[in-house]
Amino acid sequence: MTEIARTVSPDDRPKLARGVRLTHNEAHGGWVLLAPERVFKADAIAAEIVKRCTGEASVAAIVDDLVKTYNAPRERVLTDVSALLAGLADKKLMEL
């Protein structure tokens, strides 16, 4: 009954798991994701993605918003967002 690491679908509405918080901390030089017994540094791009994971916006909507805000190619943004979310879901930090 091994759960296969899931792929991210455009209809998913990702949300940080309870017990996971994104916070900005000067002393650590930027954004950090706080989780049980763990701290992950988040680069600016990861932070912008995670901030949009409210549980209400779909992956497709998040990608659209990032494409518009940063004037970036959709294909590239979709790849980045999917990879980040799959990685975070795998670590139990994000609920898809």
Partner 1 sequence: MDTAANGSAPTPLGLLAELTHRCPLGCPYCSNPLALEGRSDELDTATWARVFREAAALGVLQVHLSGGEPGTRRDLVEITAAARIAGLYTNLITSAIGISNETLDRLSDAGLDHVQISIQDSDPGSADHIAGYRGAYARKQALAQEVVRLKIPLTINAVMHRANIDHVEDMVALALALGAKRVEIAHVQYYGWALRNRAQLMPTHEQVERAMRTIEALRLLRHGQIVIDAVVPDYYARFPKACVGGWGRRSLNVTPSGKVLPCHAAEIIPGLEFWNVREHALCDIWENSPSFRAFRGTDWMQEPCRSCPRRERDFGGCRCQAFALTGDARATDPVCHLSPQHAMVGELALVQEDAAYAYRR
**Number of other residues whose CB lies within 10 A of the CB of residue 51:** 13
CB of 42 to partner 1, least distance (A): 13
Q: Which is nearer to partner 1, 75 or 90 (CB)?
A: 90
Q: Which is nearer to partner 1, 77 or 84 (CB)?
A: 84
Interface residues with partner 1 (CB under 8 A)? 2-5, 17-21, 23, 25-28, 32, 34, 36-37, 39, 90-92
Give the integer Cα–Cα distance in Å for 68 and 82.
17
Two structure tokens written together for 26: 């000067």
